[in-house]
């Protein structure tokens, strides 16, 4: 049977939530990943140095060998002078959410320039700026496109600040990131590599494929696939795995977010293999992100085998991407 062994992957964008669900998510995530960048959009959000320390401890107390790279949420009134203490508390990045664009972003920022003093302080502290790059109030398919001039402007104002455009979903965004020099990078999710708008709404609404930013056109999807296959080091894996309980996805107000952690590496192996680029998978999952974050690559490995399996209907009440479908690669458990 064919096996594939790669440097243990990192996930540079994941949502690990809170409470009992958090414990299940941490255990599941540790089967595939070495390190994860943990998003701060909990309730209440992770904002202060104490929040960062407390959330990290809760995650560590689950008792896996997953490493947690912490973030803080850039609130409208965040004090720029708190950056030093946030860094000391273990934060490596700050996450910017425009108000109202996604799950738990009601308290996000309305005017991005009001955060420029925070960006300045982050640049001085060498903290990474992770951007949810969408403009609120614009039609959903156009929200990312509308944000791109803001990305360029932030880079021009803070040329030493490392910036990541998270969950990049369009060809235009890929081109913008490519044009902006080596301080600007992007994460790409598994679902944006595989799905288009018609997997979300094609007459019917498919809530489990619904996320922010919404999956776009076939030409956008192809541009993302070509970019990751090309081996450009500015683009690396951040799954934006965003679990919600089934009832919160299927109700009247479905929350955006796709749960991909357990299927991420099998689906990526399949995608890279189908395109004859299996040898480029490791750079995307385990090398380029670590390099951008200035971390050593993980010292251990993980293996996948070419063995068909059926994705469960749910994991702890959360429906994953490709639920009940058959995948060709599976993760070999340690």
Beta-bridge partners for 67: 35
Q: Is the dihedral of CA 94, 133, 244, 320 positive or negative?
A: negative
**Contact range with ligand NCD by CB under 6 A, out of 64-72, 221-229, 230-238, 250-258:** 250-258
CB of 93 to Zn ion, least distance (A): 12
Q: What is the DSSP letter of 278?
A: G
CB of 294 to ligand NCD, least distance (A): 23
Beta-bridge partners for 301: 7
CB closer to Zn ion out of 15 and 278: 15
Work out whether 11 is an interface residue with Zn ion (CB under 5 A). Answer: no
Helix (H, G, I), strand (E, B) or coil at 231: coil
Work out whether 187 is an interface residue with ligand NCD (CB under 6 A). Answer: no
When CB distances to Zn ion are compared, the closest residue is 240
Helix (H, G, I), strand (E, B) or coil at 173: helix
Catalytic residue among 240, 252, 300, 314: 240
Helix (H, G, I), strand (E, B) or coil at 66: coil
Work out whether 144 is an interface residue with ligand NCD (CB under 6 A). Answer: no
Work out whether 144 is an interface residue with Zn ion (CB under 5 A). Answer: no
The Cα–Cα gap between 277 and 274 comes to 8
Work out whether 24 is an interface residue with Zn ion (CB under 5 A). Answer: no
Binding residue (CB under 6 A) for ligand NCD from 34, 45, 207, 257: 257
CB of 210 to ligand NCD, least distance (A): 7
Binding residue (CB under 6 A) for ligand NCD from 56, 87, 132, 162: 132
CA distances to 11, 121, 124, 225, 323 from 178, rounded to whole Å, are: 21, 25, 24, 15, 34
CB of 39 to Zn ion, least distance (A): 5
Q: What is the DSSP letter of 200?
A: H
Chain Cα centroid distance, residue 58 = 21
Residue 168 interaction partner, one of ligand NCD, Zn ion, none, beta carbon < 5-8 Å per kind? none
Q: Would you mind telling me the total number of residues written for the chain in this entry? A: 334
CB closer to ligand NCD out of 256 and 320: 256
Binding residue (CB under 5 A) for Zn ion from 24, 220, 240, 282: 240
The Cα–Cα gap between 10 and 141 comes to 29
Asked about 300 being catalytic, the answer comes back as no
Binding site for ligand NCD (CB under 6 A): 15, 41, 102-103, 132, 211-212, 240, 242, 255-257
Catalytic residues, which ones? 240
């Amino acid at each position: 049977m064919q096996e594939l062994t790669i440097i243990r992957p990192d996930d540079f964008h994941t949502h690990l939530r809170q409470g009992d669900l958090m414990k299940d998510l941490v255990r599941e995530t540790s089967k595939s990943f070495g390190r994860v960048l943990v998003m701060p959009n909990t309730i209440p959000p992770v904002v202060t140095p104490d929040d960062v320390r407390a959330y990290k401890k809760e995650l560590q107390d689950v008792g896996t060998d997953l490493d947690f790279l912490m973030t803080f949420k850039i609130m409208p009134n965040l004090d720029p002078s708190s950056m030093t203490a946030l860094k000391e508390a273990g934060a490596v990045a700050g996450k910017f959410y425009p108000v109202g664009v996604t799950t738990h972003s009601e308290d996000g920022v309305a005017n991005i320039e009001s955060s420029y003093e925070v960006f300045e302080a982050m640049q001085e502290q060498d903290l990474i700026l992770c951007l949810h790059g969408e403009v609120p109030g614009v039609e959903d398919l156009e929200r990312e496109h509308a944000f791109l001039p803001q990305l360029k402007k932030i880079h021009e104002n803070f040329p030493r600040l490392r910036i990541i455009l998270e969950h990049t979903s369009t060809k235009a965004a890929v081109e913008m990131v490519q044009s902006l020099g080596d301080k600007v990078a992007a994460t790409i999710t598994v679902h944006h590599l595989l799905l288009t708008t018609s997997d979300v709404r094609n007459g019917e609404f498919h809530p489990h494929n619904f996320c922010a930013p919404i999956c776009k056109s076939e030409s956008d999807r192809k541009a993302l696939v070509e970019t990751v296959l090309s081996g450009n080091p500015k683009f690396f894996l951040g799954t934006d795995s965003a679990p919600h309980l089934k009832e919160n996805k299927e109700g009247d107000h479905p929350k955006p977010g796709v749960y991909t952690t357990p299927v991420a590496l099998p689906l990526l192996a399949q995608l890279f293999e189908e395109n004859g680029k299996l040898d480029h998978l490791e750079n995307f999952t385990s090398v380029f992100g670590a390099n951008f974050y200035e971390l050593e690559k993980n010292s251990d490995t993980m293996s996948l085998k070419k063995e068909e399996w059926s994705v469960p209907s749910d994991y702890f009440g959360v429906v994953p991407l490709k639920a009940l479908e058959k995948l060709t690669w599976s993760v070999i458990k340690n």
